[in-house]
Amino acid sequence: MRSLFMLSMLTRAVVSCILSAYICVHPAHAGQTREYKNALVLFPQESLSAPIPRAIYFAIQSEFDKSPALNVSLFAENLDLYLFPDPGDKQAINEFLGKKYANTKIDLIIPVAPPSLDFALSLRNSHFPEIPIVYCAEVAHGNGRLEHRSDVTGAAVTLDFAGTIELARTLRPGLKQVAVVAGTGATDQYLLSRFREAFKGYAGKLDLIDLTGRPLDDLLEQVSRLPESSCIVFLFMRRDGSGRLLPSWDVQKQVSQAANAPLFSLFDTALSYGCVGGRMSQLEEVARKTGEIALRVLSGESAAAIEPAVIRGNPAMFNWRELKRWGIAESTLPPGSIVRYKETSHWGEYRWVIIGALAFICLQTLLIFLLVKSLIRRKRAEEQTSMIRQELAHISRVSTVGQLGHSLAHEINQPLAAMRVNAEAAQTLLGGEPPDLEEVRAALGDIVADSKRAQEVVACIRDLVKNKPPELNPLELNRVASDAVQMVQVEAASKGAAVHLELAEDLPAVYGDHVQLQQVALNLLLNALESVTENPYPPKLVTVKTDREADGRVSLSVSDNGPGIEPVIVKHLFEPFFTTKPEGLGLGLSICRSIIEAHGGSLSADSNLEKGATFRLHLPAGPAAKPKASSGGSKDAG
């Protein structure tokens, strides 16, 4: 979330950079046809640092900025009329301003509040003749009659004391007392008198706690000990009971903080200083209206033609934080209430983003979970397949051993025969006079050698028959080829076939399982032998060849001069259960291929140019070509 927030900030920064760069590059665009005007806004008692003058000033300014035709500079002056009430002082200020703006052509004066209007009129008479005046005032001043002359017009707000008291009663159902806070300044007193007037309507319904004209410390002490069923109405406090000059907005804030009852107020600009709410005079709104009228006058419209505007219908406005503080539910607010300063939590602001992101994360998690699950299932299936393949390979090997029965018996009987003959010869030799011990020793040596040979054959058969997982070792393909040829030699002879062995020299080692590769070689050889026996006449030739390929791989090929492979069959050759033999299962070649592929190699079949077929397997050479392992496979069985 944080990063999202940062991102949006960053985007904003970039956009504003680009915008300002654009404006810098095209200054003429902004001011080319705009006329320059100067307006002077007069505040009666506070400078721009106070919330009300500041709000008014910026509202007017923003209205001016909207004009496509005029470029208005807005000057602001604080007249401090209540601090310097003496006519001589007023005159001095009048003179001062006259001198101050002697060299600045003022096109319009905007007095804020009636005292400023009076001042403006006198100022105009003495220094700025015939300059139009557009004021910003309050309706009740001047008994509801708004100044409207040939060159004076303006806008005004209404103050709604009764409405604010009524609002307090609505929000605090048990309300019995209203504490009114006001200072001793002119405005303070003016507002107080208006309030008292309005409060008369509540005589008997509400008690008034008068907290006016007190020193600040005392006031703060009093507001902290108000009765339970009370509220505060803060009017204005420019000066306290001790005569100290104070910023009213700051006093309001301090009072609110010290108070044990909610504080109501009358101006929207006061809302953010500890005020829970009220029927607010829309100062910003009236300032904007003032600005709008001022602009029309500046554009050349006659002030006489513009009726003074009145901003009515003080809306109920609330400070969300204060509502929280006093436990006032938003649902109890009157319809059409405006709630400001709502703390927008990250949740509130980014709810959909958060929900979206969470949903995304959840989905992703689910997806990952499913993927992992399917991966596990797949792995399990692969393991099972591998086991089945190994089992098949084993069955196929056993079947091969069965096919080789004749040869294998021969391979064992041969050394056994030699051993027996040697042993019996040795017995005879020992009976001689004198016994030929040298020859006996030689015979015994031969027996030992033959027994080893028989043992090797038995070990080889055992390996082929045993069902064990493949083991990867560096091995010589030449050895695999010659061993296989040796094993089928008798088989070949009995079929009248000849097996030729052509071994490449300096063949690099391959990584693989000796038994499995031997199985493949045997399978291919037996297939080839079976194929050549279909030849009615000799020669019945099978050639086993090892070679080093251009791509660095090593190959072992078994070719025969049998009838060859029909082209239609070639693509099915390695499919499981495809067989051309009546008694075949069709697994031999498919198992062979799976073995070779598990070794990272390939197995292919081709018809020879002249006659017969060639089966060729390629294996990667060297330790770098370590295959992924797994699988078993046996040959034949086809």
Q: Which of residues 480-499 bind another protein (CB under 8 A)?
A: 489-490, 492-494, 498
Cα atoms in the 13 Å half-sphere on the side-chain side of 323: 22
Report if residue 478 touches another protein, rule: CB under 8 A: no
Please choose, out of 301-309, 387-395, 416-424, 540-548, the segment that lies near another protein by the rule CB under 8 A. Answer: 416-424
The nearer residue to another protein, 442 or 504, going by C-beta atoms, is 442
> Do residues 451 and 416 touch, judged by C-beta distance below 8 A?
no
In the complex, least distance from residue 492 CB atom to another protein, rounded to whole angstroms = 8
Q: Which two tokens stand for residue 239?
A: 């000066």
CB atoms within 10 A of CB 385: 13
Report if residue 453 touches another protein, rule: CB under 8 A: yes
What binding mask, one character per residue, do residues 396-415 give for another protein by CB under 8 A, x or -?
----------xx-xxx-xxx
Please choose, out of 136-144, 199-207, 448-456, 551-559, the segment that lies near another protein by the rule CB under 8 A. Answer: 448-456
The gap between the terminal CA atoms of the chain, to the nearest Å, is: 65
Dihedrals phi, psi of 196, to nearest 5 degrees: -55, -40
In the complex, least distance from residue 399 CB atom to another protein, rounded to whole angstroms = 19
The nearer residue to another protein, 226 or 488, going by C-beta atoms, is 488
Cα atoms in the 13 Å half-sphere on the side-chain side of 513: 28
Q: Coil, strand, or helix at residue 307?
A: coil
In the complex, least distance from residue 425 CB atom to another protein, rounded to whole angstroms = 4
Please choose, out of 9-17, 150-158, 281-289, 422-430, the segment that lies near another protein by the rule CB under 8 A. Answer: 422-430
Which of these, 102, 100, 154, lies nearest to 132 by C-alpha position?
154
Report if residue 422 touches another protein, rule: CB under 8 A: yes
The nearer residue to another protein, 266 or 426, going by C-beta atoms, is 426
The nearer residue to another protein, 142 or 435, going by C-beta atoms, is 435
**In this chain, which of 80, 210, 439, 597 binds another protein, going by CB under 8 A?**
439
Dihedrals phi, psi of 114, to nearest 5 degrees: -55, -40
Integer Rg of the chain from CA: 55
> Do residues 493 and 532 touch, judged by C-beta distance below 8 A?
no
The nearer residue to another protein, 440 or 515, going by C-beta atoms, is 440
In the complex, least distance from residue 493 CB atom to another protein, rounded to whole angstroms = 5
- Torsion from C-alpha of 385, 386, 392, 396, nearest 10 degrees: 150
In the complex, least distance from residue 496 CB atom to another protein, rounded to whole angstroms = 8
The nearer residue to another protein, 387 or 498, going by C-beta atoms, is 498
Q: Which two tokens stand for residue 60?
A: 């007017």
> Do residues 634 and 516 touch, judged by C-beta distance below 8 A?
yes
Please choose, out of 189-197, 220-228, 240-248, 432-440, the segment that lies near another protein by the rule CB under 8 A. Answer: 432-440
Give one DSSP letter per residue of 76-143, joined into a string.
EEE--TTTS-SHHHHHHHHHHHHHHTTTS---EEEEBSHHHHHHHHHHHHHTSTT--EEEEEETTTTT
Which of these, 44, 43, 41, 42, lies nearest to 186 by C-alpha position?
44
**In this chain, which of 59, 232, 443, 541 binds another protein, going by CB under 8 A?**
443
Please choose, out of 33-41, 328-336, 388-396, 436-444, the segment that lies near another protein by the rule CB under 8 A. Answer: 436-444
The nearer residue to another protein, 48 or 493, going by C-beta atoms, is 493
Chain-centre distance of CA 296, in angstroms? 51
Report if residue 442 touches another protein, rule: CB under 8 A: yes
CA distance 441 to 447: 10
Report if residue 449 touches another protein, rule: CB under 8 A: yes
What binding mask, one character per residue, do residues 507-546 give for another protein by CB under 8 A, x or -?
----------------------------------------
Q: Coil, strand, or helix at residue 464?
A: helix
In the complex, least distance from residue 458 CB atom to another protein, rounded to whole angstroms = 15
Angle of CA points 453, 457, 458, to nearest 5° = 115
Site size for another protein, by CB under 8 A? 34
**In this chain, which of 258, 416, 472, 475 binds another protein, going by CB under 8 A?**
416
Report if residue 425 touches another protein, rule: CB under 8 A: yes
Report if residue 231 touches another protein, rule: CB under 8 A: no
The residue whose two tokens read 């091995």 is 475
The nearer residue to another protein, 457 or 603, going by C-beta atoms, is 457
Report if residue 420 touches another protein, rule: CB under 8 A: yes
The nearer residue to another protein, 481 or 573, going by C-beta atoms, is 481
In the complex, least distance from residue 483 CB atom to another protein, rounded to whole angstroms = 16
Q: Coil, strand, or helix at residue 278?
A: strand
CA distance 489 to 292: 114
Please choose, out of 150-158, 190-198, 442-450, 597-605, the segment that lies near another protein by the rule CB under 8 A. Answer: 442-450
Burial of 195 (0-12, 13-18, 19+ CB in 10 A): buried
> Do residues 467 and 391 touch, judged by C-beta distance below 8 A?
yes
In the complex, least distance from residue 497 CB atom to another protein, rounded to whole angstroms = 10
CB atoms within 10 A of CB 66: 11
Please choose, out of 238-246, 310-318, 418-426, 472-480, the segment that lies near another protein by the rule CB under 8 A. Answer: 418-426
CA distance 523 to 389: 16
Q: Which two tokens stand for residue 377?
A: 């299932």
Dihedrals phi, psi of 87, to nearest 5 degrees: -55, -35
Report if residue 182 touches another protein, rule: CB under 8 A: no
> What are the Cα distances from residue 131, in Å, to 105, 128, 175, 299?
10, 6, 51, 13
The nearer residue to another protein, 473 or 494, going by C-beta atoms, is 494
What binding mask, one character per residue, do residues 606-625 give for another protein by CB under 8 A, x or -?
--------------------
The nearer residue to another protein, 393 or 440, going by C-beta atoms, is 440
Q: Which residues of this chain interact with another protein, rule CB under 8 A?
A: 406-407, 409-411, 413-422, 424-425, 428-429, 432, 436, 439, 442-443, 446, 449-450, 453, 489-490, 492-494, 498
